[in-house]
Amino acid sequence: MTDDDRLMTQRLKKRDALLEMGIDPYGGRFADVQASAGLRRKAEGLDLQPGVRSEMTARAAGRIVLLRLMGKLAFLTIRDATGTLQFGISQGDIGEGWPILKELDLGDIIGGDGVLGRTKTGELTLWCNHLTVLAKSLQPPPEKWHGLTDVDLRYRRRYVDLFTNPQVRDVFHMRSAIIQAVRQCLVDVGYYEVETPVLQPIYGGAAARPFTTHHNTLDMDLFLRISPELYLKRLLVGGMERVFEISRNFRNEGISTKHNPEFTMIELYEAYADYQVMMERVEQMVSAAFEVSARLAVPRRTVAIEEECLRLGREQGEEAADAYAREQHLTAYREARDAIGRGRMQTMFHGKILDFTPPWPRRKYADLLQEYAGVAMTDSDTVRKKAEKLGIDPSGKDTAVLVNQLFEATVEHHLVQPTFVYDYPAAICPLTRRHPQDPSIALRFEAFAAAMELGNAYTELNDPQVQAENFRRTVAGEGEETMAVMDEDFITALEYGMPPAGGLGVGIDRLVMLLTDSHSIRDVILFPLQRPQARGDESAGG
């Protein structure tokens, strides 16, 4: 028998013991549960002194994360969605319910009824006169101090990660709040939220390889969308003048700390606008997202770090406390918190302060290329020479493609502070309107922060003939951003007339990364794609 089996067997025995006592180890509805955080606030109001029990009754529930049995008295710490709370149980108070305690384990979900009080040391405690078993846990939880650290296991068993590592739950709480804020921000200025097909017979709207699938009844191959763009523009034709979609996109490409095969993007289109308006939309959405994330994060994080510093100072001396403060960027968090007070939108990312306060700097693509690569975008010969110098093979490539590679190699890593880079080479932008004075330039910008692409926007191309021509060229493989498939119906839609418009996509995952100081996209996606676990004997023999 493996250790794993042994541990589960022991827990199963306890489950049976509960059943014998006439207790359902998987209790049902548990009405009127109070959140631990709410009880804490209430206790503040009561001015409870250490060692005193109040008259106030309360009911709480959560997972047992710590368990201390001391003969005829027990303390257990439960964790709910809002924090932790100590249950105190004395044999005298609980009487017949006492034997239940022996059958409880770390990880079980229980409810308690009792009165609020404080122990001698001041810890808020629910002194229980009744315990309800809500769910017996058969799997042993991870180590109580270190939690689950194995990165692979954390993603595979995200549920364990979530209930053992509170900061993980914070990140996803924040993700939810950020999406909500961004959505509300657009609804407030007259946008409709829509849903367009994920299963598409023709994919397009971005340069990426798609996933393919098959519909059985129609006997037809389909693609998972790489972008919602071409459908959202059809809605502009249809008269929906402001639309957005929070779109899960699927791209069959490499996986990295910045790329997951499925990722979330908010894409929006606004009739009679252009890419300049879209820059303002980026600033508005990011500001809204920043505000909710700052409200949630900074106080909580700062308080948690300060408490830990105090504890370390007490137990291990000031030096240890200082070291911890530095390690946790405490000073920077304080600065960030103060910055909000002054109306600045600053946050820590990778040990650097990013300032999202609008307006963000706006830099011309060509100027940045000149500044960091030392070449003029239009000077084909110099571009080729510079590319070769940097180890980029220029043979058979369009100048615009090389320019773009040069840009990525020389400029991008400098774009740490939020920045709009605008006016891209037209050859790599098949869906974008050209600059009226210079047809080699496309009215496109990308938003960068922390050297990462955060968003991408155009003044949309609404001339069906130019669009059809661009399709033909990209299908033929000219330029870099191949769409590979001609979408006839999209052209037909444009032929009916699409209002001039600005369009924008912002990577939600990356935005959440920036605002939660997460360095891998997997840390902001609940269940990132992973190779299936090879189990036991199936994996043997290589």
Partner RNA sequence: GGGGGCGUAGCUCAGUGGUAGAGCAUCGGCCUUUUAAGCCGCAGGUCUUGGGUUCGACCCCCAACGCCCUCACCA
Interactions with RNA, residue window 318-347 (CB under 7 A): none
E-only strand ranges, 486-538: 501-507
- Smallest separation, CB 289 to RNA (Å): 18
Measured between alpha carbons, how far is 161 from 6 in angstroms, rounded to an integer? 23
Site string for RNA, 383-402 (x = CB under 7 A): ---------x----------
Q: Which is nearer to RNA, 291 or 463 (CB)?
A: 463
Specify the 3-state DSSP secondary structure of 252.
coil
Task: Please choose, out of 269-277, 323-331, 355-363, 518-526, the segment that lies near RNA by the rule CB under 7 A.
Answer: 518-526
Told to check if 257 binds RNA by CB under 7 A, we report: yes
Nearer to RNA (CB atom), residue 163 or residue 298: 163
Choose the binding region for RNA from 17-25, 38-46, 249-257, 354-362 (rule: CB under 7 A).
249-257
Among 106, 194, 277, 486, binds RNA (CB under 7 A): 106
Between 251 and 301, name the residue whose CB sits nearer to RNA: 251
Question: Judged by CB under 7 A, which stretch of 29-37, 246-254, 330-338, 339-347 contacts RNA?
Answer: 246-254
Pick between residue 190 and residue 536 the one whose CB is nearest to RNA.
536
DSSP 135-178: E---SPPPPTTT----HHHHHHTHHHHHHH-HHHHHHHHHHHHH
List, in order, residues 6 or more apart from 417 with CB less than 8 Å away.
Answer: 354, 355, 360, 361, 449
259 vs 385, beta carbon nearer RNA: 259
Residues in 259-318 at the binding interface with RNA, rule: CB under 7 A: 259
Q: Applying CB under 7 A, does 516 fall inside the site for RNA?
A: no
Q: Which is nearer to RNA, 340 or 392 (CB)?
A: 392
Residue nearer to RNA on the CB measure, 86 or 132: 86
Candidates 251, 281, 329, 433; binder of RNA (CB under 7 A) is 251
Q: Give the Å distances, CA to CA, from 402 to 121, 138, 212, 478.
A: 68, 58, 30, 13
Q: Is 153 in the site for RNA (CB under 7 A)?
A: yes
Q: State how far the Cα of 62 lies from the Cα of 111, in Å rounded to an integer.
A: 7
The only residue of 62, 142, 204, 418 in contact with RNA, by rule CB under 7 A: 142
DSSP 359: S
With CA atoms as reference, report the closest residue to 153 among 143, 260, 67.
143
Q: Looking at 35-43, 180-188, 288-296, 516-524, which segment touches RNA (CB under 7 A)? A: 516-524
Cα 324 to Cα 126, 165, 188, 311: the distances in Å are 32, 19, 42, 11
**8-state DSSP, 427:** G
Pick 314 or 385: Cβ nearer RNA: 314
In whole angstroms, give the CA distance from residue 407 to residue 504: 21
Between 72 and 326, CB nearer to RNA: 72
Size of site (CB under 7 A) for RNA? 77
**Shortest Cβ 260–RNA spacing (Å):** 10
> Looking at beta carbons only, is 42 or 337 nearer to RNA?
42
Say which residue the tokens 């003939």 belong to.
465
Residue 314 Cβ, how far from RNA at the closest point, in Å?
Answer: 11
Query: CB-wise, 355 or 481, nearer to RNA?
Result: 481
CB of 249 to RNA, least distance (A): 9
Question: Nearest distance from residue 187's CB to RNA, in Å?
Answer: 24
What DSSP letter does each residue of 397-409 carry, written as one string? Answer: --HHHHHHHHHHH
- Only one of the segments 121-129, 184-192, 338-346, 371-379 lies at the binding site for RNA (rule: CB under 7 A); that segment is 121-129
Residue 101 binds RNA, judged by CB under 7 A: no
- 332-335, Cβ contacts within 8 angstroms, sequence gap of 24 or more: 333/298, 333/301, 333/302, 333/305, 334/302
The sign of the torsion formed by the CA atoms of 104, 109, 113, 115 equals positive
Residue 317: C-alpha distances to residues 312, 313, 386, 541 (Å)? 6, 4, 55, 53
Check residue 167 for interaction with RNA (CB under 7 A): no
Q: How far is the CB of 341 from RNA (least distance, A)?
A: 32
Which one of 190, 254, 341, 477 is in contact with RNA (CB under 7 A)?
A: 254
Min dist. Cβ of residue 542 to RNA (A): 3
155 interacts with RNA by CB under 7 A: yes
For residue 538 the two structure tokens come to 């199936």
Helices (H) and strands (E) in the chain, counts: 17, 18
Q: In the window 491-510, what residues touch RNA (CB under 7 A)?
A: 505
CB 297 within 8 Å of CB 174:
yes
Q: CA 234 to CA 494: how far, in whole Å?
A: 8
Position among 80, 105, 274, 460 found at the interface with RNA (CB under 7 A): 105
Its sign, for the CA torsion 376, 381, 384, 387, is negative
Q: What is the DSSP string of 70-130?
A: ETTEEEEEEEETTEEEEEEEEHHHHGGGHHHHHT--TT-EEEEEEEEEE-TT--EEEEEEE
Instruction: Map the footprint of RNA across residues 402-461, applying CB under 7 A.
Output: 405, 408-409, 429, 431, 446, 453, 456
Compare residues 335 and 481 and give the one whose CB is closer to RNA.
481
Complex with RNA: residue 67 or 292, whichever CB lies closer: 67
Q: Under the criterion CB under 7 A, does residue 531 sit at the interface with RNA?
A: yes
Site string for RNA, 41-80 (x = CB under 7 A): ----------x--------------xxxxxxxx-x-x---
Alpha-carbon span 228 to 245, nearest angstrom: 8
Q: Residues 148, 279, 289, 368: which binds RNA (CB under 7 A)?
A: 148
Longest dimension (CA), the chain: 89
Burial class (CB in 10 A: 0-12, 13-18, 19+), 198: middle
Nearest-angstrom CA–CA distance, 524 and 212:
26
